[in-house]
Amino acid sequence: MDTTIDLKQVADLSPFELKDFLIKTASRKCECYMLNAGRGNPNFLATEPRYGFLRFLEFALAESERSFSYMPEGVGGFPDKEEIERRFDIFTDGRMGQPGIAFIRNAVSYVRDQLGLPAGEFIYEMSEGILGCMYPVPDRMLRLSEKIVAQYIRKEMIASEPFTGGFDLFAVEGGTAAMSYIFTTLKENKLLRPGDSIALGMPIFSPYIDIPKLHDYDLKEVAINADRDRGWQYPDKELDKLLDPSVKAFFLVNPSNPPSVRMSDKSLRHLGEIVKKRPDLIILTDDVYGTFADNFTSIFAVCPQNTILVYSFSKYFGATGWRLGVIATHEDNILDRAIAALPEESLKELDQRYTSISTDPRHMKFIDRLVADSRTVALNHTAGLSTPAQVQMVLLALFALMDEAEAYKTAMKRVIRRRKAALYRHVPVRPTQSPEDVDYYHVLDMEVLGRQMYEQAFIDWLIAKLKPNEFLFALAEKAQVVLLPEAGFGDPHHAARVSLANLKETDYARIGCSLYDLMQDYYEEYKKSGKEAGTAE
C-alpha cells in the first residue's frame, strides 16, 4: 500500500475528508483511470421537470416584459395576476411540441383538477417565484408550494399508512441545512441540553455522529446497532434501549446510509410500541433514500407526533446542486408541547429570544422557530429557500405525483440494481438480497466476502492483520478505486461503502474485479506466511 500515508494520522478523519487522501493515492499513477465510487452524487437526473422549469421561466419573463413593454432597455416588472391563466394557455398553445410545454400544461391541470387549487394563483406563484423578484412569502414556504410538496411527501413517505391530521413543511437548502437547523433549534429551545443522551441508529451518515460531539451541543451518544448478519435490521433488544427515559431523542437515516436498507415493518411496529411507552421521545428520521425503496413507509407515518421528518430531493431527482429539502412536523406534535411545558424561567428566556419577530412568542410552533433560528432570529424576515429553488422543487414533486405508473421510479431502481449486479459479475461471490434492500449504496465487507471464497483461518488472519483503512488505501494504490470507509459511519468492521449511483455499469464490474484481485493478493501473502493448513506455530 501507499507508504506515504500515515494511517494513524488519518484514522479519525470523517469519511468525506479521508476521501481526499484516497483520491490523491488513486490518482498518482493516472488520474484518468481512477474510479471514485465514494460520493453519493448520482450521475442520473430527471429531465422533464427541468424542461418544465425552462418553459415556466420563459413564460414568466414574457409576463415581466409585458408590464414594462414601453421600455426597450431590457427592463421588466412583476407579473400581473389578472387573467394570467388565459395568457398561460395562449403561451403554451403556441409552443406545443417544445420539450417541457406539455409537462407544465399537465401540471397546471393536475393542480387545478386533482389537488383542487386555483390554477391562476398557482401560475402566478410559479411565475413570481421563478423570477426571484420577491422575498419568500411566507418565509417558511410559498403558500401553494407547501400544499403541493406536502402531497408528494404524503405519497412517498406515508403512502397507505393510516394518518390523521396535517403537517407543516419548511423548505430548506437540502438535507444538510435541515440537520444544522434542527440541532440548533432543539438546543436553543431547551429540548436537548448539554450532557443529554441521544440515540443514533448505527451505522449512520457520519455528520449525525460528529455534530453531537461538538462543544456547541455536548451530547452523549447511545448506539442503536443494526445487525449486519440480519440484513442490517435493528434487533428488538437494540431498539429497547429507547425505553430508557434518559435517552431524549433517536436520530436515524431510513433507508440506512451506508447499508441502504429500509427499516422492516416489524421494526417499525416495535418502535411504535416503544413510543407508546415513551410518548416524550423525539425522533428525527432522515428519509432521503426512501423514494428508491419498495413499499416504503416512513417512521413519520407510524409515529407522526414524535417525529421530525427530513427529506431531500437531491438523490432521487439528481438535484444535489439545487440544494432542495424539506423539514416536516405534524401539526400536533410533542415538540410544541414540550416547549410549552418548560419552566417559567426558560419560557421567559425564549420570549426574549423571539420577541422581535412575534407578539406571542410562546405560541410559536417549533417549525417556525426553525425558520427564525435558520437566520439567527434577527434576519427572520429574509428567511426561506430561494423562490426559484422552491419552483424547481414543486415541479419535481408534480413530476412524481403525475407519474402514476411510476415509470421514472422503476427506471431509477433498475439503474442502481443493475449496477449492483455488475459489481459481482466477474467474481465468485453473490450478494444477498432482501425486500428491505434499497441498493443506492452497498457495503463491501472484507470478512463477509472472504467467508464465501476462503477458509475461516484466512479470514481470521486477515482481520487481525489489517489496520484501519489499510485495504482502502491498498485498493486506491493498486487499482485506482476510491471507496469510503464503513468505520466512519459507525460500523467497526473492515468494510467500505460503494455508491451505486455515480459511475457507469462497466465501472462497477471493474471495481468488483479489483476488490477480488486485492483479496487474492492478501491470500497469497497469507499462504507465504506459513499460517495456512495448520502450519502456524
Q: Determine, yes or no, domain membership for 498.
A: yes
Give strand ranges (E) for 388-452. Answer: 441-445
Residue 28: the pLDDT is 76
Do 314 and 413 belong to one domain? no
Residue 533: pLDDT over 60: no
The more confidently predicted of residues 40 and 107 is 107
Q: How far apart are CA 322 and CA 174, in angstroms?
A: 8
The mean pLDDT value for 70-77 works out to: 79
Q: Which residue in the block uniquely carries the three cell numbers 412569502?
A: 137
Do 364 and 421 belong to one domain? no
Radius of gyration, alpha carbons of the chain: 26
Q: Determine, yes or no, domain membership for 189.
A: yes
Q: Determine, yes or no, domain membership for 159.
A: yes
Do 251 and 165 belong to one domain? yes
| Cα 44 versus chain centre, distance | 16
Q: Determine, yes or no, domain membership for 285.
A: yes
Q: How far apart are CA 303 and CA 129, in angstroms?
A: 34
pLDDT tens-digit profile of 380-424? 999 999 999 999 999 999 999 999 999 999 999 999 999 999 999
Residue 410: CB atoms within 10 A of its CB come to 11
Percent of the chain with pLDDT over 70: 96
Q: Which residue, 400, 420, 452, sits at the end of a domain?
A: 400
Is residue 331 a contact partner of residue 304, using CB atoms and an 8 Å limit? no
Is residue 222 a contact partner of residue 245, using CB atoms and an 8 Å limit? no
Q: Determine, yes or no, domain membership for 193.
A: yes
Q: How far apart are CA 519 and CA 517, in angstroms?
A: 5
Interior angle at CA 363, CA 197 and CA 154, nearest 5: 70
Residue 84: CB atoms within 10 A of its CB come to 21
Q: Which residues face 168 on adjacent strands?
A: 329
The domain total for the chain is: 3
Residue 235: pLDDT over 80: yes
pLDDT tens-digit profile of 337-384? 999 999 999 999 999 999 999 999 999 999 999 999 999 999 999 999
Q: Which residue, 378, 400, 422, sits at the end of a domain?
A: 400
Instruction: Specify the CATH number for the domain of residue 57.
Output: 1.10.20.110
Residue 165: pLDDT over 80: yes
Residue 425: pLDDT over 90: yes
Do 451 and 496 belong to one domain? yes
Cell reading at 242: 429507547
Instruction: Specify the CATH number for the domain of residue 193.
Output: 3.40.640.10
Do 312 and 422 belong to one domain? no
Do 31 and 68 belong to one domain? no
Q: With cut-offs at 50, 70 and 90, classify the pLDDT of residue 534.
A: very low
Residue 513: pLDDT over 60: yes
Q: How far apart are CA 398 and CA 49, in angstroms?
A: 8
What Å distances lie between residue 262 and 37, 66, 297, 311, 382, CA to CA? 21, 51, 9, 15, 37
pTM score: 0.94
The more confidently predicted of residues 83 and 39 is 83
Do 234 and 298 belong to one domain? yes
Do 109 and 254 belong to one domain? no
Residue 532: the pLDDT is 61
Do 28 and 111 belong to one domain? no
Residue 531: the pLDDT is 65
Per-position DSSP letters for 28-81, written without gaps between them: TT-GGG-EE--S---S----HHHHHHHHHHHHHHHHHHHTTTT--SS---PPP-
The mean pLDDT value for 262-273 works out to: 97
- Which range, of 158-162, 260-264, 281-285, 499-503, averages the lowest pLDDT? 158-162
Q: Which residues face 309 on adjacent strands?
A: 285, 328
Q: Which residue in the block uniquely carries the three cell numbers 411527501?
A: 153
Residue 468: the pLDDT is 84
Q: Determine, yes or no, domain membership for 267.
A: yes
Q: Determine, yes or no, domain membership for 1.
A: no
Long-range contacts of 38-41 (CB under 8 A, 24+ apart): 38/482, 38/483, 38/484, 38/497, 38/499, 39/499, 39/502, 40/257, 40/315, 40/440, 40/441, 40/499, 40/501, 40/502, 41/320, 41/499, 41/501, 41/502
Residue 274: pLDDT over 70: yes
Instruction: Specify the CATH number for the domain of residue 467.
Output: 3.90.1150.10
Residue 535: the pLDDT is 41
Residue 536: the pLDDT is 38
Residue 63: the pLDDT is 94
Residue 416: the pLDDT is 96
Q: Determine, yes or no, domain membership for 2.
A: no
Enclosing domain of residue 228: 143-400
Do 347 and 442 belong to one domain? no
| Cα 435 versus chain centre, distance | 20
Closest by CA to 447, choosing from 434, 456, 438, 435, is 456
Q: With cut-offs at 50, 70 and 90, classify the pLDDT of residue 31.
A: low
Mean pLDDT over each residue of the chain, to the nearest integer? 93
Q: Which residue in the block uniquely carries the three cell numbers 440548533?
A: 184
Q: Spell out a b/e string for 6-15, using b for 16 or more CB atoms within 10 Å of the CB, else e.
A: eeeebeebeb
Residue 219: the pLDDT is 97
The mean pLDDT value for 84-98 works out to: 96
Determine the 3-state secondary structure of 246 from DSSP.
coil
Cβ neighbours of residue 307 closer than 8 Å, sequence gap 6 or more: 283, 284, 285, 298, 299, 300, 329, 330
pLDDT tens-digit profile of 176-207? 999 999 999 999 999 999 999 999 999 999 99
Per-position DSSP letters for 505-517, written without gaps between them: HHHHHHHHHHHHH
Q: Spell out a b/e string for 35-47, using b for 16 or more CB atoms within 10 Å of the CB, else e.
A: bbbbbbebeeebe
The mean pLDDT value for 151-177 works out to: 95
Residue 24: pLDDT over 50: yes
Do 109 and 128 belong to one domain? yes
Q: Which residue in the block uniquely carries the three cell numbers 507465504?
A: 528
Q: Which residue, 368, 384, 400, sits at the end of a domain?
A: 400
Is residue 138 a contact partner of residue 386, using CB atoms and an 8 Å limit? no
Do 163 and 190 belong to one domain? yes
Percent of the chain with pLDDT over 90: 82
Q: How far apart are CA 211 and CA 218, in angstroms?
A: 9
